[in-house]
Amino acid sequence: MSETSRQIPVAKPVLDDREVEAVRRVVLSGWVTQGPEVAAFENEFADFVGSAHACAVSNCTTALHLALACVGVGAGDEVITVSHTFIATANAIRYCGALPVFVDIEASGYNVDPELIETAITPRTKAILCVHQLGMPCDLRRIVKIGKRYSIPVIEDAACAAGSEILWEGQWQRIGKPHGDIACFSFHPRKVLTTGDGGMLTTASDEYDRKFRLWRQHGMSVPDTVRHGAKQVIYEAYPELGYNYRMTDLQAAIGREQLKRLPALVDRRRALAEKYSEHLSGTSGLRTPSEPHWARSNWQSYCVALPSRLDQREVMQTMLDRGISTRRGVMNIHLEEAYAGADTHRLSGSLGRSVAAQERSVILPLYAQMTDDDVALVAEELLSIPTIAAPTTAPPSGASYLPHSG
Ligand SMILES: *Cc1c(COP(=O)(O)O)cnc(C)c1O
């Protein structure tokens, strides 16, 4: 019988006095919205990923919206992406009046199958929006090649991938350099680096970066920081429709502290993921996540696929009863009511793998403060669910294979 007091959450941000001090400094400075801290965070983030530009925004959803608009996605256009992702990926396409075209994921993980992208291209395809799901880099080398061949811009939904790396022309490079045309990051607390809410766009293009900066602040020709510091009266103009997608200096100050921690956080997460794999690999049909030789995940999530004889909800409830929180794996957008209408999306081929992945996968707890013993304990509890620990050749009958008594 497990202790009832134990509580292992699925995730936990790493925040302490360093972030508190950073916010204190900003509050007392009197400048709390987008200003010098945002500018400093952008420079530091650009350096970190090796990008020419980084533009901070309010979250990754707004980053995706600006990225798509920037490459010219508009009404009636199509954007190829996956359904097997967080809903924001496709919502951003719809904000542009365009149609998400969903392709399936690969057999071996939770990322897009690059093979299927090419079959989904039509004369209306305006962009490819690929996702580094759960922090695991997707096969950008193949995707970028397809984009180049058809002259279609590639945008990376790198929401989960701050600190992830890809082997590129023989060198390990951070996601966000970017390898596509634009990469979009999230700093939501469920991601590895958090600012509460927040986002970042990285690009090598001066022109794109200029547009992001214009559009995130109402399309205002002169940023308020410039007017504030000016010795002469300046009237601003509004040449284009813009948005209020700003990050605040309060958030950016937290982000700067978080960025300093990021390499250590990723190292710790890698070690924890390795521990999980040691405990769980080779066990009776549980599929553990693995990195292709050309990818290094930041392990934003550690997601296992259950053998088909186990009921996902029952496994998760059993774990919860034992004080361990888990989450269902990645959702499928096309199965949500908001995407029920024929005008909301188009399917390109079967999404069988996406649907199976949602039904079978469970995200296990992973956060930097976890101990090796915590990981061992989660693994032990998972393996103690009888048919995981000792697979039967015949499928078990009914639902009696899960212990309900504890
Ligand atoms: C979290 C997430 C988003 C949305 O990020 P926000 O910063 O919350 O807007 C988009 N795409 C993916 C894949 C995500 O995981």
Where is the domain boundary, 258, 281, 310?
258
Of 258, 286, 316, which closes a domain?
258
- For residue 310, the number of C-alpha atoms closer than 13 Å in the C-beta half-sphere is 31
Within 8 A by CB and 6+ apart from 225, the residues are 34, 35, 36, 39
Asked whether 251 lines ligand 1 (CB < 6 A), one says no
pLDDT digits (tens, 9 = 90+) for 143-192: 999 999 999 999 999 999 999 999 999 999 999 999 999 999 999 999 99
Ligand 1 atom nearest 191 alpha carbon: 1
Distances in whole angstroms, Cα of residue 217 to Cα of each of 42, 246, 248, 331: 16, 6, 12, 32
Q: Are residues 210 and 286 in the same domain?
A: no
- Are residue 190 and residue 309 in the same domain, yes or no? no
Q: Is residue 67 part of a domain?
A: yes
Quick one: 184 and 204 in the same domain?
Answer: yes
CB 306 within 8 Å of CB 362:
yes
Number of independent structural domains in the chain: 2
Q: How far is the CA of 300 from the centre of ligand 1 (A)?
A: 12
* pLDDT tens by residue, 88-108: 999 999 999 999 999 999 999
pLDDT in tens, 227-258: 888 899 989 899 999 999 999 999 999 999 99
In terms of domains, do 275 and 248 share one? no
Q: Domain end: 236, 258, 280, which one?
A: 258
Q: Which residue in 126, 177, 191, 211 is the catalytic one?
A: 191
Give the domain range for residue 381. Answer: 262-389
In a domain, 303, yes or no: yes
- Annotated active-site residue 145? The verdict is no
**Is 251 in the same domain as 298?**
no
**pLDDT at residue 309 in the model:** 83
- In a domain, residue 22? The reply is yes
Mean pLDDT within 114-132: 98
CATH of the domain at 135: 3.40.640.10
Does ligand 1 have an atom closer than 6 angstroms to the CB of 385?
no
Q: Which atom of ligand 1 sits closest to the CA of residue 63?
A: 9
24 φ, ψ to 5°?
-55, -45
Is 254 found in the same domain as 267?
Answer: no
Q: Is residue 353 part of a domain?
A: yes
Tell whether 211 is covered by a domain: yes
> Within this chain, do residues 54 and 177 fall inside the same structural domain, yes or no?
yes
Tell me if 184 CB under 6 Å of ligand 1: no
Please compute the mean of the pLDDT values over residues 325-337 and round it to a whole number. Answer: 98
Residues 313 and 242 in one domain: no
Look at ligand 1, atom 1, and give the residue with the nearest C-alpha. Answer: 159
The answer on 362 and 221 residing in a single domain is no
Tokens of 352: 């069988």
CB of 88 closer than 6 A to ligand 1? Answer: yes
Mean local confidence (pLDDT), 52-58: 98
Question: In this structure, what token pair is assigned to residue 271?
Answer: 């070690």
Judge if 313 and 247 occupy the same domain.
Answer: no
Whole-angstrom distance, CA of residue 47 vs CA of residue 45? 5
Distance separating alpha carbons of residues 34 and 57, to the nearest angstrom: 9
Determine whether the shortest distance from the Cβ of 217 to ligand 1 is under 6 A: no
